[in-house]
Amino acid sequence: MASKTFEKTSGEPSKLPLYISVVIFGTLLLTYFLIPQVREFMNESWNTLTSNDNDRIRTWVGDFGWFGPVVL
């Protein structure tokens, strides 16, 4: 069974990971500017995580329950 790689037959690396990254980043950027709830969540996240207040960060992450570490 042959393993699949992200390389073309010519030996040049595939640009698929780059394209996927650009699509993900672009989607996040668009949702930030077009959906107010996403903007509020990202701003709250940034303010909390850069506050250097460990209790505030712990509470914010804990509010997500078992999904908190994934959000972080």
Higher pLDDT, 3 or 69: 69
- Cα(72)–Cα(68) distance, integer angstroms: 6
With CA atoms as reference, report the closest residue to 39 among 50, 23, 25, 28.
28
pLDDT (tens digit per residue) in 17-53 = 999 999 999 999 999 999 999 999 999 999 999 999 9
**pLDDT of res. 10:** 64
Evaluate if residue 6 carries a pLDDT over 60.
no
Q: Are 17 and 7 in contact (CB under 8 A)?
A: no
Average pLDDT over residues 57-71: 89
**pLDDT of res. 52:** 92
Q: Are 48 and 57 in contact (CB under 8 A)?
A: yes
Q: pTM, whole model, 2 decimals?
A: 0.64
CA 2 to centroid of chain Cα atoms: 32
